[in-house]
Structure 1
């Protein structure tokens, strides 16, 4: 029997919310908060799994019915030790949960699989998402798998790889000039035409589809299975806090089921620091920090959300800004050249913030730390390529080759460039 009760609960008021009302967050203190799917864990005997594909092997702890699911065999991603990088940065027990191994090469597949499944099981025929990349590509792929229409509202500045993915998966992709224009148009389509929102569409931002957010719980379940216990800390790139909220609930499930001994400290890695500010000053929905352009464009928000802040607060977590584009790109190159992991710039923020976290005492040298590698660096090749040396063209002689090898050795990445 599934633990899902078929309704949601408001996380602040405790009020019951029907599934049909789940997609519009409620206004709280000048901001917005989504209700969360409700479960009765006493129905389960431990972390029960099924023979369903992908992350739906955990379907008894996901907000879906017994009807068929929409899956591309997502989840089950590897946990990769990065000992060399960990030793250099002072965290010997360092791992990357490599979510780039998902079907559309990003952790957003977990959200999309659950959110699209919920939409299909409810009989909906159109999903809509506001996205500059991974989120839109993932939703487009799962909508294609389900045979329903997907509309992506994006910006003209999005990297070509991202729009190519969205359109290749069959999404109707439309760009607007201003980011907030997407939300206004999206809300009208949700209200007037019954389209199912796969992302947030209110300001200040609140997060995404609450059913999809619970797809991230499965990362916590997998980490426990891979380590034999939960880690001491999990560092993840953060924008609107969907993954943070899902991770916190997943680890809390494990503790409630008597499987794990504790909930790890969750840590937000970010370009500009809104979560760091919220933890220091207290959460305020309309509070923002100074922000500009960033290579970590998919998490480049000046706002924190209540759900992200709450997950950090209740897990005793922390947040840190990555220190600028140079530090982020140095971290990306370090992971690729020293560990064989080519992750997107947003993922590399988790490496870039490690020195700050250690200096502040938010992490300790003997901690077992997991970094969430959210997506592949292939989603934005031009940004990485612009920071790499040109490939030398040489005469086919040993002497010319030796000179090129000597020049290349001087450019090997080191940990000194990080943060």
Structure 2
């Protein structure tokens, strides 16, 4: 079923790879772009497959037919199967319920499963928090070593969890040096599960895990929402969800796809849309940012492509915007990491600008639990 990889920008095909350098053709043109899985769905009976999925216990690996690892070889901690419910005026896709408290567990279940299947001994990741914790947890479950490259700003809770899971912490002087450390050690570490080349995305196989969020939204809603809004940094989850909706459309399970809305801390995608750019620009760093999960000053061509293909948009926000939205979620009993309040910020902005109709259903993807970033709680 896996034909290979394809570039999300130019469509060039490639063989499945362990690196995260993206499409060589686009990079040569000065527009770094990601590679994602190219599945051959010919002959798949979509309605029958959907019916089969509906009879299984909810979870990521209940969708094993469209994932690139044999289910019997999966490394799983019972991730996925998270609820969809209404709160604060939006439909919340509650990814806090995953084993380490974030949606990163979908990525690392598939990525670490694939790494172990291909003989890797060590999983390496650059992270400010959630990804590192998840990578270390799943590596531990797989019996693999893990290395998390971070900076001194990493929260003490995240550091403690990485170490609790047996992971090794290495520190760069800043976010950019983390990528350099990954590149310098790529031969030793074998599988780099997130990007070592900026601004590209992470390992294609991990992105496949995020498709299951889209499957679950359609299952629980019984339909496709008009809008899906999510916090976006590199856009791995954003692209994964879009791939999932596209697959359901191709299989005849749904008749349309949603508008995808990227919520960003820096207005990189916002500027790219306004300027009709191929590659989102680097935004000048305004100083310390509390919403560290979406703190990259340059977005990816991959995220931009999702927005354009889906007819969506980007919404830039401030830490203050996120705090207000997180407090509203809190008053509804939903404790979210600061960046995870982004979907509510987007819904408010779109309604204020009359870009939503009263009947439009907005799914806000809550990517992580408030307890994952205790330093922002006051």
TM-score range, shorter chain: over 0.9
1:224 equivalent to 2:218? Answer: yes
Return 293-302 or 258-267, whichever deviates more. 293-302
Return 372-381 or 66-75, whichever deviates more. 66-75
**Structure 2 length-normalised TM:** 0.93
Partner of 2:301: 306
Q: For 1:273-292, what aligned pairs fall within 5 Å after superposition?
A: 273-285=267-279, 287-291=281-285, 292=287
Gaps of 5+ in 1: 87-93, 386-419
What is the rounded CA distance, in whole Å, between the counterparts of 2:17 and 2:194 in structure 1? 16
Partner of 2:33: 33
What is the rounded CA distance, in whole Å, between the counterparts of 1:124 and 1:189 in structure 2? 14
Which has more radius of gyration? 1
Partner of 1:372: 365
Partner of 2:73: 68
Alpha-carbon offset, residue 21 of structure 1: 5.6
**Structure 1 length-normalised TM:** 0.84
1:215 equivalent to 2:209? Answer: yes
- Asked whether the equivalents of residues 153 and 174 of structure 1 are also in contact (C-alpha less than 8 Å), the reply is yes
Q: For 1:148-159, what aligned pairs fall within 5 Å after superposition?
A: 148-159=144-155
> How many residues were matched structurally?
369
Q: Which has the higher contact order (CA 8 A, sep 6+)?
A: 2
- Asked whether the equivalents of residues 4 and 60 of structure 1 are also in contact (C-alpha less than 8 Å), the reply is no
Q: Secondary structure at the match of 1:350?
A: helix
Return 253-262 or 352-361, whichever deviates more. 352-361
Q: For 1:313-352, what aligned pairs fall within 5 Å after superposition?
A: 313-322=308-317, 324-337=318-331, 339-352=332-345
The CA RMSD measured in Å over matched residues stands at 1.8
Q: For 1:92-171, what aligned pairs fall within 5 Å after superposition?
A: 94-171=90-167
What whole-Å deviation, never above 9, does each CA across 1:331-368 have from its counterpart, x for those lacking one?
1111112x110000001122223232123333222101
1:77 equivalent to 2:82? Answer: yes
Q: Secondary structure at the match of 2:304?
A: helix
What is the rounded CA distance, in whole Å, between the counterparts of 2:59 and 2:77 in structure 1? 7
- Asked whether the equivalents of residues 289 and 303 of structure 1 are also in contact (C-alpha less than 8 Å), the reply is yes
What is the rounded CA distance, in whole Å, between the counterparts of 2:321 and 2:7 in structure 1? 39
Gaps of 5+ in 2: none
1:54 equivalent to 2:54? Answer: no
What is the rounded CA distance, in whole Å, between the counterparts of 1:296 and 1:365 in structure 2? 30
Alpha-carbon offset, residue 42 of structure 1: 2.2
Partner of 1:193: 188
Partner of 2:246: 252
What is the rounded CA distance, in whole Å, between the counterparts of 2:189 and 2:295 in structure 1? 30
